[in-house]
Structure 1
Amino acid sequence: MTAPFILVSDCDLPGTVIEDTLRQAGLRAERAASGSAEDIADLGREAEGLVVQWAQITGEVMDRMPKLRIISRVGIGYDMVDVAAATARGIAVANTPSYCIEEVAAHTIAMIMTQARGIPAYDRAVRAGTWKAVEAHPLAVRPSATTVSVLGFGRIGSMVARGCRALGFRVLVADPYAAVESVREAGCEPVGIPDAVAQADILTLHVPLTDDTHHLIDAAVLATMKAGAVLVNTCRGPLIDEVALATSLRAGQLGAAALDVFEEEPLAADSPLRDLDQVLLTPHAAWYSPQALADLPVHAAENIIRFLAGETVPIVNPVFATAL
């Protein structure tokens, strides 16, 4: 009996860990020449599994892979896969939600504290010869007098919320899918999204990117935030309308932002965000540690292995998952 064939559409991580892990489990595995639809289809006709990082997997791509049973995303987000199309075709979609929870939560809290204490501005001032503790921008805060609003109380959002609470911040949580009791047990206050946004001194995003959450933070929402508030995003870039964000920062409505993810990556050389001193930028690096780098490709491959063996994997199309 021929072993199932698994196609890797694309992956920018070093090495061939995905293919090696699949082959060690007795599966056949190859990588497409590129993440284009044509290159995926060229090898994909016999594929029962597909591992994808950044390639766009549409219904049309799936139709050219008639034996496909599961798509495994190398990462937590899965907006590059048309999950509705996969569900309609009986294809499971899995992600790797646990490989970097600690890293992203730590990066988020580091960004929150860096902006809350005005550290970038202090650093620039000292290097320029200024020695004035009272000129932080935005104003350095006392945690107990500061409200952090967390949108999304999943694995990462809940860790960020608990971490901020441990540091003394008042923490509001907006997540319609989270149990109110769980939020309160973490020492946080459950609220709706409008209240979370309006009351936030610091707003941090931890929600999936969907059609409903695209540009969740737009000009209208930014206008409801407190003057001088800080926006943090280590989740998905398109949650924020970056043009509206730059406009709000320039006008002095929003005080600062800390961003690890962007609408287009790498961040364009002419992005207005690059010219704003009150914006802290990192290169989609919140996920990274040597341990996470080692875990990620293995987790993505193991999703395929376990699924084909009839074991439980983190399926993101729940309607289909209930039928497995």
Structure 2
Amino acid sequence: MTVIYVSDTIHSDVLTEVQASATVHLGYGPTKVNYLDVSDTVDGVILRAETFSRELIEASPRLRIIARHGVGTDNVDLQAASDQGVWVTTTPGANGNAVAEHVFALLLTTARKLLLAHDNIRHGKWSEGKADLIGFELSGKTLGLVGFGAIGRRVATIARGFGMDVLVSDPYAAEHDVLDAGATPVDLEELLEASDIVSIHAPLLPSTRHMIGAQELASMKSSAVIINTSRGGLIDESALRVALTSGALAGAALDVLEGESTDMKDPLSHSTMTTEPVPGLIITPHIAGQSTEAFLEAGRSAWTAVQKVLAGGEPLHPVNAEQIRRVPA
């Protein structure tokens, strides 16, 4: 019988579908197994946060596909997968709306100082401290989008509903697509200087690591807020800490941390943003894409990819199609 390894929690409906068609080993929960204990039997993997190294892949003689439950592949050794003839796929678009809405959850929480207001109430303060709770409105503000893929475009649509002006910096976006979305294409330098809020929607590549560093942060308005729901490592966290602590930047909201590239299950131990309180900082634990709807869509997409490959076909949304050396039947 087909054997599937599911690394982390997926939608219960999808897990039921998988269990109806295969023997399933879970990498989480009370029946959690160590992957290496079952690696010689696994045909397909549905992968979320667990890091899939060359060691795991080479210990998997039957493995034919690693289906990422999401869009990033920085936790998969793509070269090792390709060397072994293992497809690696993603689920683009499945969580796009969830991430875009989370951007505004973070932004509104920051703009209206909701966490501070909540803490005041918990400590019995109602009238006291209200002078410190004066926030700002989104209407009329300029939102700068670094990256204009599906999520960036959705963020732009929501921003226009708030009455915001939108700037876009993306060397790969067609100018007419940006203009059709009611946004203005600019270079990164202009975007950083002009924006009241900057939201990052870029992949983590060697060329984009620390694309927002000390120089870029210094070019932003001191009243500005920066948001990252894409990948940790795009912002230099040490430089961000300095900017927030010195008052050179008003706020930051992060759903991702640089430490995730080191240890996706315990990034806090590797992050400079969590060692002590940082003024104006909000962090959520990489949950932007975690809505019920997104979980269902991503899970079904990943499971469909697994089924196609195990049936002898080619999956949708492969990331290593050009490099893969197909294993002879």
When normalised by structure 1's length, the TM-score is 0.81
Q: How many residues align?
A: 312
Q: Which residue of 2 aligns with 1:140?
A: 136
Say yes or no: does 1:303 pair with 2:299.
no
Q: Which of residues 192, 214, 219 is equivalent to 1:219? A: 214
Q: Which residue identity lines up with residue 160 of structure 1 in the other structure?
A: V
Tell me, what secondary structure is at the counterpart of 2:250?
strand
- What does residue range 281-296 of structure 1 map to in structure 2 within 5 Å? 281-296=283-298
For the 8 Å contact 1:22–1:302, the answer to whether it is kept is: no
Question: Structure 1: any 5+ residue segments left out of the alignment?
Answer: none
Q: CA deviation at 1:77?
A: 2.1
For the aligned residue pairs, the C-alpha RMSD in angstroms reads 3.3
Instruction: Give 1:150 shift.
Output: 0.8
The one-letter amino acid of 2:161's match is: A
Contact persistence 1:147–1:200 (CA under 8 A): yes
- Residue ranges of structure 2 left out of the alignment (5+ in a row): 260-265
Contact 2:64 2:309 in 1 (8 A): no
Are 1:273 and 1:279, in contact at CA under 8 Å, matched by a contact in 2?
no
CA contact (8 A) 1:198 1:225 kept: yes
Offset at 1:233? 1.4
- Cα distance change of structure 1 residues 315 and 113 upon mapping to structure 2, 3 Å threshold: same
Match of 1:235 in 2: 230
Structure 2 counterpart of 1:98:
93
3-state DSSP of counterpart to 2:258: coil
What is the match of residue 73 of structure 2?
Answer: 78
1:15 and 1:162, CA in 2 relative to 1: closer, same or farther beyond 3 A? closer
1:93·1:316 contact (CA, 8 Å) conserved in 2? yes
**Secondary structure class of the residue paired with 1:148:** strand
Question: 2-side partners of 1:172 and 1:23: how far apart?
Answer: 46
In structure 1, how many angstroms separate the alpha carbons of the residues matched to 2:180 and 2:36? Answer: 49
Q: Percent identity?
A: 33
Shift of 1:46: 4.0
Q: CA deviation at 1:188?
A: 0.8
Residues of 1 paired with 2:219 and 2:321: CA distance? 34
Worse-matched range after superposition: 219-228 or 102-111: 219-228
CA distance in 2, matches of 1:318, 1:220: 38
**Structure-1 residue corresponding to 2:282:** 280
Change (3 A) 1:273 1:128: farther
2:56 to 61, 75, 91: 61
1:107, distance to aligned residue in structure 2 (A): 1.2
Deviations 1:247-300 (A, max 9, x none): 110111111111222234464599557623422233333223333344443333
Structure 2 equivalent of residue 162 of structure 1: 157
Task: Give the Cα–Cα distance (whole angstroms) in 2 for the partners of residues 281 and 60 of structure 1.
Answer: 32
Cα distance in 2 for partners of 1:231, 1:11 equals 30
Contact kept, 8 Å, 1:218 with 1:244, in 2: the verdict is yes
Structure 1: distance between partners of 2:114 and 2:151: 24
Counterpart Cα distance in 2 of 1:273 and 1:33 = 27
Map 1:256-267 to 2 at 5 A. Answer: 256-264=251-259, 265=266, 267=268
| Alpha-carbon distance in structure 2 between the residues aligned to 1:270 and 1:157 | 27
1:203 aligns with 2:166: no
